[in-house]
Amino acid sequence: MNETADLPEQRPMPEGLRDRLWAEEIEPQLDKPDSGNRFRTWRAPLTAAAAVVALAVGAVFALPVLRGGGATAAAGPDMQLVNDCIHAPYTELPSGSWRAGVRLDLDATHGFLMIRTDEYAAVCDLSNGHPTGTVGGVSTRHTYSNLTATRPWDYNDSDNLTNESVHFGIAADNVVAVSLVGPDNSVTPTTLKNGTFAVRTKFAEDSNSYTSNRVKATLDTGQVIEGPFRS
What was the pLDDT predicted at 209? 60
Chain segment 126-173, per-residue pLDDT in tens: 999 999 999 988 989 999 999 999 999 999 999 888 888 999 999 999
Beta bridge partners of 97: 72
What was the pLDDT predicted at 18? 54
Q: Which of 81, 89, 94, 151 is nearest to 122 (CA)?
A: 94
In 5-138, which ranges are continuous DSSP H helix?
Answer: 15-21, 27-30, 40-55, 79-86
Amino acid letter for position 64 = P
The secondary structure of the chain in percent helix, strand, coil, rounded to multiples of 5, reads 20, 35, 50
Prediction pTM value: 0.69
Phi/psi of residue 226, nearest 5 degrees? -125, 145
Q: What angle do CA 82, 83, 88 make, to 5 degrees?
A: 100
Chain segment 54-84, per-residue pLDDT in tens: 333 343 333 333 344 599 999 888 999 999 9
